[in-house]
Amino acid sequence: MTPIPKAENNTTNTILWALQVLVALAFLAAGFSKLSGQPAMVAAFAKLGAGQWFRYITGGIEIVSSVLLVIPKSIPVGALLLVCTMIGAVAAHLLVLGGTPIPPAVLLVLTAIIAWGRRDRLKALL
């Protein structure tokens, strides 16, 4: 078994862990709002036209990925799943939902930073 490579320095590692925890909490909240059927989420996914099953899938991906963000060996997997999810969210806002795409864009950038910062762990997984 290959050891998990360490971040370049302790400061980078600490910043990445703080970011991972904050992003994980944000996605836990977002995922639970989708899975619990919050009216705003039901309406948004109805407007997308893909069906409510897509809300459940998206919420599940967000919750699972948020857990992956705090398990050292799976951090890059969780981050990359969320990058893909947020690309879809930004596109949905721009093309169908309207409103501001800034919140999902910010989460996209944050998850991309995590994925980039933990790329050494992805190499270890491969």
Can you tell me the distance from the alpha carbon of 11 to that of 16, in angstroms, rounded to the nearest whole number?
9
pLDDT single digits (tens) 9-49: 788 889 999 999 999 999 999 999 999 999 999 999 999 99
Rg over CA atoms, the chain: 15
* pLDDT over threshold 70, residue 3: no
This prediction's pTM? 0.85
Percentage of the chain exceeding pLDDT 70: 94
Quote the distance between the C-alpha of residue 80 and its chain's center. 7
Q: Which amino acid makes up residue 118?
A: R
Q: Parse the chain into domains and list their residue ranges.
A: 27-125
Q: Which amino acid makes up residue 90?
A: V
C-beta separation of 23 from 110 below 8 A: yes
pLDDT single digits (tens) 84-98: 999 999 999 999 998
* pLDDT over threshold 70, residue 64: yes
Can you tell me the distance from the alpha carbon of 90 to that of 94, in angstroms, rounded to the nearest whole number?
6
Q: What is the pLDDT of residue 6?
A: 54
